[in-house]
């Protein structure tokens, strides 16, 4: 199998017995305890998983720690779609339903890998119809680290999030707090018009 489609995971991710995980750019996914132990990768307690199977494991982890959101996801799973506004070199992501950590990781990974199109320097996340799952709110810093590790774009980079839900707005503000790359400008808005105006403003 191709490396980009396989992941190394620790026994806790494999068993679904951890609440927080670290997702790395070298296709390694571990619980926080194992990620801090440099000897883990040298032991027999690691597993190789296809990416689709890893996503299933991460879904089960999020389900185990939030039954209420599990019910919501069973009745209406998160849907993330994207399209490009070529006139503004802008990628727009639209999400509906609860935002789960594993699905956000997958969306970010596919964007930066440029499977469909090269990653644009302007991104707009439309979260007006979304909410935040516990699996995401508890792993905000890990998500920022993952995104920064695989982001190879050059020049001025602007990302806007539009949120109507207070929990999503707070999540976006916390995400901004963890960004350390000086070339990345990140803002949170309540209005789509304000977000688009900010993105095109040089």
Cβ 40 vs Cβ 34: under 8 Å: yes
For residue 187, list its beta bridge partners: 160
Residue 154 lies in a domain: yes
The total domain count for the chain is: 2
Is residue 94 domain-shared with residue 141, that is, in the same domain?
Answer: yes
Beta bridge partners of 119: none
Residue 27 lies in a domain: yes
Alpha helices, DSSP H only, in 25-165? Answer: 32-35, 51-64, 67-75, 101-113, 134-137, 140-150
Q: Give domain status of residue 70, yes or no.
A: no
Do 185 and 99 share a structural domain?
Answer: yes
Question: Has residue 182 been placed in a domain?
Answer: yes
148 and 127 within one domain: yes
Residue 57: pLDDT above 90?
A: no
The pTM assigned to this predicted structure is: 0.63
Return the pLDDT at 25. 66
Mean predicted confidence (pLDDT) in 42-71 = 66
Two tokens, residue 146 = 């993952």
Per-residue burial over 68-86, b if 16 or more Cβ lie within 10 Å, else e, is ebbebbeeeebebebeeee
What tens digit of pLDDT does each residue of 82-129 get? Answer: 888 877 689 999 988 888 888 888 888 888 887 667 889 999 999 999
Label residue 76 by pLDDT band (50, 70, 90).
Answer: very low
Integer distance in angstroms from the first to the last C-alpha of the chain? Answer: 44
Q: Environment class of residue 110 by beta-carbon count within 10 Å: exposed (0-12), middle (13-18) or buried (19+)?
A: middle
Nearest alpha carbon to residue 106 among 128, 86, 84, 77:
77
Query: Are residues 161 and 195 both part of a single domain?
Result: yes
| Same domain flag for 38 and 92 | no
* Structural domain of 147: 76-200
Contact present, 151 and 124 (Cβ < 8 Å) = no
Q: Which tokens belong to 22? A: 């670290």
50 and 16, same domain (yes or no): yes
Q: What pLDDT does 62 receive? A: 54
């Amino acid at each position: 199998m191709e490396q980009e489609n396989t992941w190394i995971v620790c026994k806790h991710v494999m068993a679904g017995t951890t609440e927080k995980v670290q997702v790395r750019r070298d296709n390694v996914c571990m619980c926080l305890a194992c990620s801090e132990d440099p000897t883990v990768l040298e032991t027999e307690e690691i597993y190789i998983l296809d990416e689709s199977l890893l996503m299933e494991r991460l879904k089960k982890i999020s389900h185990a720690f939030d039954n209420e959101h599990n019910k919501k996801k069973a009745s209406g799973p998160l849907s993330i779609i994207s399209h490009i506004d070529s006139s503004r070199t802008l990628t727009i992501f639209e999400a509906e339903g609860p935002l789960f950590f594993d699905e956000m990781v997958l969306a970010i990974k596919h964007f930066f890998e440029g499977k469909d199109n090269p990653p644009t320097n302007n991104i707009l996340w439309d979260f007006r119809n979304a909410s935040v799952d516990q699996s995401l709110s508890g792993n905000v810093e890990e998500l920022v680290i993952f995104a920064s590790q695989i982001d190879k774009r050059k020049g001025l980079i602007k990302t806007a999030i539009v949120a109507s839900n207070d929990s999503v707005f707070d999540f976006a503000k916390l995400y901004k707090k963890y960004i350390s790359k000086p070339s990345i400008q990140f803002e949170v808005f309540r209005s789509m018009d304000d977000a688009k105006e900010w993105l095109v403003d040089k």
